[in-house]
Chains A and B, each alone.
Chain A
């Protein structure tokens, strides 16, 4: 039987051309079909049909022979009292990008977006970004102070907060520096490193407004300082009026208490705003009438413009989307049907529409939005695609409910240059080669 480069044992090949040899395909396409080649083709199809019928009737030993898991006693309940992923999922872990930072305590571990489904990030795979290492705080000794322009400065224990009326909301969390490595050129090999400072979770806690009303905040105040209890004493200035709308002093994440890496026992949830403002190990909220110019809003997390000015207090994560599979570093095993899948989100509201292009942005078609579309939360999109071995440039583009449309990289760079580090929400391009290999490229 003739072989084809992409032929795999045990795989049905519905398209007859897959059974032709590379040499024959090349000859036919160059010289056309003459009598001799027509006979060769006929022979190949006959072989292919024989092959197909052979494959169809070949018995699958996984069915014929009883596997060990079907003829043995399984493990007892509570063998793993917390539970672990399957041992076959060992590749699905957070990873660092070598050379990104010099110290492991002020660094990033990225979420493996390429391996995930839906729009909830498993808590153990939620990306990590710490500024002076992570700590595991005894909740009995943790306190939250509310002070500044309030009638009565207050102290809450974690127990107090757990007793209060709670809300649970789904929100994305994206670092302002997500995709920062890609401003100048394609720099990292997979979506884990280009977009993996991103997560979606259900957050549970007390509405910020409830605590500030209890303290009697000054209605003329515009700003809120959030401060962490870790070594860095992380501090960020928050837009008070907007935080009163939807910010949460959260203790819960995806049904359990926050992970220590995510701020156990308290973190501020500021929907739509970059991750650095979601202060972890939250110990203090100060109501104020001026911004605070803390280190991470005066030296870092400032966006350098081509004229040398630094944009300060850039907080909102504008609408963005990315195809998570197929994505760079992966390989399409054969031609045929694929479901292109990815994530879209907007810090200004909800996803209205996602479009996918397979030709580098020349033509776009609408993707399906899966599941519930929530405000300031990840939305999963899917797109049917038949790959026939041609080179392709895959892109996705989101529209949010404010009418904003995700820009091409060239448009973003034309306005902001390539040195602003933060808030890169450009359209991402993945290149599919005829071999099926996918890599990270930029077009323009």
Chain B
């Protein structure tokens, strides 16, 4: 253990035979500096399972619902149950008995979709993650009380607390004691340490081994081209060229990427503005593809209409998933994007 630590010491002992050893150590230790108190509190934001690191604050289910619908529902669904963009956070399958025992029984059922609240044992995990990484396109923008409120709302969706509940640093340990899968984790395995004991080891047999060589699974024909033409994914000369999996009509001599239907693309702006969290160029994701928006409004002088849609959000034009109001974007950015969608041009 401490192999390198020792080698550094040996190095220093060796250097000790000349006059520069002290200089060397001193100079090396001059690299880096003490962190200030303000710097530590700015970055040391992690909240541990025993709630070390949890800031003082409070938030209600009611406040959480408002925040949720405004900032979270577009990806996670109104009730945290959407499977469109991320795996569901809450989707039933947690029982009174689970909350009693701390083990979610439905985890043994292969037919049940695993949700965050079915799996997670520690409430600190939920608080910490929302605080550090949410919302998706504007991480670390939530106030402490807003994080409490959002966690309270999720706890209510999972039927762990009532709808008039206010979560705070004072009562969060009581709620931890109700987490449905709080006893569902195990560290009894060999994969934490390099010296851990494996749970499964293979056979050393080399001759006439008793194995079943019946093929039990292979890809059906219709799935062979689901990842694109395999012919185009292998080096196309040499011993192992790719199998032609595309229907004859879709084969091309040279590999081509999907053509961009728009003349110019403000890729950086779309990414920085958070648009690409829900929209892609040529296909629907949560929202419609940019090319589909352009096709719909082509020749209609729709720049102002689209700018308002971006700023105010909407629902129903393209489906039931709401688009949140992009209130944090500068007007110039909104105008640039709207003009581009309406005309395909980045400049007037």
Chain A residues near B (Cβ < 8 Å): 88-92, 95, 97-99, 102-106, 112, 114-115, 131-133, 145-147, 152-156, 160-161, 163-165, 167, 185-190, 192-193, 207, 209-211, 213-214, 225, 227, 231-233, 235, 239, 241-242, 244-246, 272, 283-284, 286, 288, 290-295, 298-299, 302-316, 318, 325-327, 329-333, 338, 347-349, 355, 359-365, 393, 397, 399, 404-408, 410-412, 414-416, 419, 423, 427, 431, 437-444
B3 contacts the other chain (CB 8 A): yes
Chain A residues, Cβ within 8 Å of B114: 304
Chain A residues, Cβ within 8 Å of B34: 152-155
Q: Which of B105, B198, B200, B276 contacts A105 (CB 8 A)?
A: B276
Question: Could you tell me the distance in whole angstroms from the C-beta of A90 to the nearest C-beta in chain B?
Answer: 6
Q: Which of A91, A227, A286, A416 contacts B233 (CB 8 A)?
A: A91
Chain B residues, Cβ within 8 Å of A311: 185-189, 191
Question: Could you tell me the distance in whole angstroms from the C-beta of A347 to the nearest C-beta in chain B?
Answer: 7
Given known pairs A189-B224, A292-B46, A431-B218, the reply for A153 and B40 (CB within 8 Å) is yes
**Which B-chain residue is minimally distant from A131 (CB atoms)?**
B133
Q: Which of B32, B105, B187, B213 contacts A361 (CB 8 A)?
A: B213
**Which B-chain residue is minimally distant from A411 (CB atoms)?**
B200
Q: Which of B133, B181, B243 contacts A331 (CB 8 A)?
A: B243
Q: Is B218 touching A207 in the complex (CB atoms < 8 A)? A: no
Chain B residues, Cβ within 8 Å of A362: 208-209, 211, 213
B325 contacts the other chain (CB 8 A): no
**Which B-chain residue is minimally distant from A233 (CB atoms)?**
B132
Chain A residues, Cβ within 8 Å of B209: 361-364
Closest 6 CB pairs of A and B: A360-B213, A405-B202, A233-B132, A329-B230, A330-B240, A407-B202
Given known pairs A186-B218, A295-B129, the reply for A308 and B235 (CB within 8 Å) is no
A316 vs B129: C-alpha distance in the bound complex, in angstroms? Answer: 24
**Which B-chain residue is minimally distant from A157 (CB atoms)?**
B32
B56 contacts the other chain (CB 8 A): no
B212 contacts the other chain (CB 8 A): yes
Q: Is A326 touching B239 in the complex (CB atoms < 8 A)? A: yes
Question: Could you tell me the distance in whole angstroms from the C-beta of B115 to the nearest C-beta in chain A?
Answer: 9
Q: Is B230 touching A190 in the complex (CB atoms < 8 A)? A: yes
B115-129 Cβ-contact flags toward A at 8 Å (1 or 0): 010011110110011
Q: Which of B209, B230, B234, B240 has the largest number of chain A CB atoms within 10 A?
A: B240
A310 vs B118: C-alpha distance in the bound complex, in angstroms? Answer: 11
Question: Could you tell me the distance in whole angstroms from the C-beta of A437 to the nearest C-beta in chain B?
Answer: 5
A131 vs B132: C-alpha distance in the bound complex, in angstroms? Answer: 13
B305 contacts the other chain (CB 8 A): no
Q: Is A332 touching B239 in the complex (CB atoms < 8 A)? A: yes
Q: Is B243 touching A437 in the complex (CB atoms < 8 A)? A: yes
Q: Which of A189, A214, A360 contacts B230 (CB 8 A)?
A: A189
Chain A residues, Cβ within 8 Å of B243: 329-331, 437-438
Q: Is A393 touching B213 in the complex (CB atoms < 8 A)? A: yes
Given known pairs A316-B191, A361-B211, the reply for A284 and B219 (CB within 8 Å) is no
Q: Is A233 touching B39 in the complex (CB atoms < 8 A)? A: no
**Which A-chain residue is minimally distant from B204 (CB atoms)?**
A405
Q: Is A294 touching B185 in the complex (CB atoms < 8 A)? A: no
Known: A91-B255, A310-B107. 8 other contacts (CB 8 A): A91-B236, A95-B233, A132-B139, A232-B139, A233-B45, A235-B132, A292-B48, A442-B217
A244 vs B139: C-alpha distance in the bound complex, in angstroms? Answer: 32
Chain A residues, Cβ within 8 Å of B190: 316
Q: Which of A189, A214, A327, A363 contacts B223 (CB 8 A)?
A: A189
Q: Which of B187, B188, B276 contacts A104 (CB 8 A)?
A: B276
Chain B residues, Cβ within 8 Å of A167: 4
**Which B-chain residue is minimally distant from A296 (CB atoms)?**
B129
Q: Is B233 touching A132 in the complex (CB atoms < 8 A)? A: no
A86 vs B269: C-alpha distance in the bound complex, in angstroms? Answer: 32
Q: Which of B50, B185, B224 contacts A310 (CB 8 A)?
A: B185
B38-62 Cβ-contact flags toward A at 8 Å (1 or 0): 0110011110111000000000000
**Which A-chain residue is minimally distant from B82 (CB atoms)?**
A102
Q: Is B32 touching A214 in the complex (CB atoms < 8 A)? A: yes
Q: Which of B29, B120, B217, B240 contacts A185 (CB 8 A)?
A: B217
A307 vs B106: C-alpha distance in the bound complex, in angstroms? Answer: 10
A348 vs B120: C-alpha distance in the bound complex, in angstroms? Answer: 29
Q: Is A293 touching B216 in the complex (CB atoms < 8 A)? A: no
A155 vs B86: C-alpha distance in the bound complex, in angstroms? Answer: 35
Chain A residues, Cβ within 8 Å of B29: 214
Question: Could you tell me the distance in whole angstroms from the C-beta of A144 to the nearest C-beta in chain B?
Answer: 8
Chain B residues, Cβ within 8 Å of A161: 31
Given known pairs A293-B124, A293-B125, A318-B191, the reply for A284 and B43 (CB within 8 Å) is yes
Interface residues of B in 241-265 (CB under 8 A from A): 241-243, 245, 255
B104 contacts the other chain (CB 8 A): yes
Chain B residues, Cβ within 8 Å of A298: 119-122, 125, 185
B84 contacts the other chain (CB 8 A): yes
Chain B residues, Cβ within 8 Å of A314: 189, 191-192
Given known pairs A214-B32, A227-B46, the reply for A444 and B214 (CB within 8 Å) is yes
Chain A residues, Cβ within 8 Å of B192: 239, 313-316
B176-207 Cβ-contact flags toward A at 8 Å (1 or 0): 00000100111111111111101111111111
Question: Could you tell me the distance in whole angstroms from the C-beta of A99 to the nearest C-beta in chain B?
Answer: 8
**Which A-chain residue is minimally distant from B34 (CB atoms)?**
A152
Question: Could you tell me the distance in whole angstroms from the C-beta of B62 to the nearest C-beta in chain A?
Answer: 26
Q: Is A299 touching B125 in the complex (CB atoms < 8 A)? A: yes
Chain B residues, Cβ within 8 Å of A332: 239-240
A/B interface sample: 15 pairs, CB < 8 A: A98-B226, A102-B285, A103-B277, A145-B39, A189-B219, A227-B43, A245-B2, A294-B125, A308-B184, A312-B186, A312-B187, A331-B241, A333-B241, A438-B240, A444-B212
Question: Could you tell me the distance in whole angstroms from the C-beta of A91 to the nearest C-beta in chain B?
Answer: 6
Question: Could you tell me the distance in whole angstroms from the C-beta of A2 to the nearest C-beta in chain B?
Answer: 25
B110 contacts the other chain (CB 8 A): yes
Q: Which of B45, B193, B233 contacts A329 (CB 8 A)?
A: B233
A227 vs B131: C-alpha distance in the bound complex, in angstroms? Answer: 14
A148 vs B99: C-alpha distance in the bound complex, in angstroms? Answer: 34
B173 contacts the other chain (CB 8 A): no
Chain A residues, Cβ within 8 Å of B45: 233
Q: Is B202 touching A408 in the complex (CB atoms < 8 A)? A: yes
Q: Is B226 touching A189 in the complex (CB atoms < 8 A)? A: yes
A244 vs B2: C-alpha distance in the bound complex, in angstroms? Answer: 6
**Which B-chain residue is minimally distant from A235 (CB atoms)?**
B46
Q: Is B44 touching A299 in the complex (CB atoms < 8 A)? A: no
A309 vs B194: C-alpha distance in the bound complex, in angstroms? Answer: 22
Q: Is B194 touching A154 in the complex (CB atoms < 8 A)? A: no
**Which B-chain residue is minimally distant from A425 (CB atoms)?**
B200
Q: Is A431 touching B215 in the complex (CB atoms < 8 A)? A: yes
A246 vs B245: C-alpha distance in the bound complex, in angstroms? Answer: 45
A303 vs B199: C-alpha distance in the bound complex, in angstroms? Answer: 13
Q: Is B239 touching A338 in the complex (CB atoms < 8 A)? A: yes
A133 vs B107: C-alpha distance in the bound complex, in angstroms? Answer: 30
Chain A residues, Cβ within 8 Å of B50: 290
Q: Which of B122, B233, B241, B280 contacts A293 (CB 8 A)?
A: B122
Question: Could you tell me the distance in whole angstroms from the C-beta of A422 to the nearest C-beta in chain B?
Answer: 9
A310 vs B107: C-alpha distance in the bound complex, in angstroms? Answer: 9
